[in-house]
Amino acid sequence: MGLSTHVLDTMHGCPAAGMEVALYTTDGEAATLVRRFTLNHDGRSDGPLYDNSSLKVGTYRLVFDVAGYFKARGVDLPQPNFLNRVALDFGVAHTDQHYHVPLLVSPWSYSTYRGS
Contact 105, 73 (CB under 8 A): no
Pairing of β 99-105 and β 3-9 = parallel
Amino acid occupying residue 27? D
Q: Is 50 annotated to bind ligand?
A: no
Q: Is 113 annotated to bind ligand?
A: yes
Sign of CA dihedral 89, 51, 64, 22: positive
Q: Is 35 annotated to bind ligand?
A: no
- E-assigned strand segments in 1-116: 3-9, 14-15, 20-27, 30-38, 58-65, 85-92, 99-105, 110-112
Summarize the annotated binding site as residue ranges: 6, 44, 113
Summarize the annotated binding site for substrate as residue ranges: 6, 44, 113
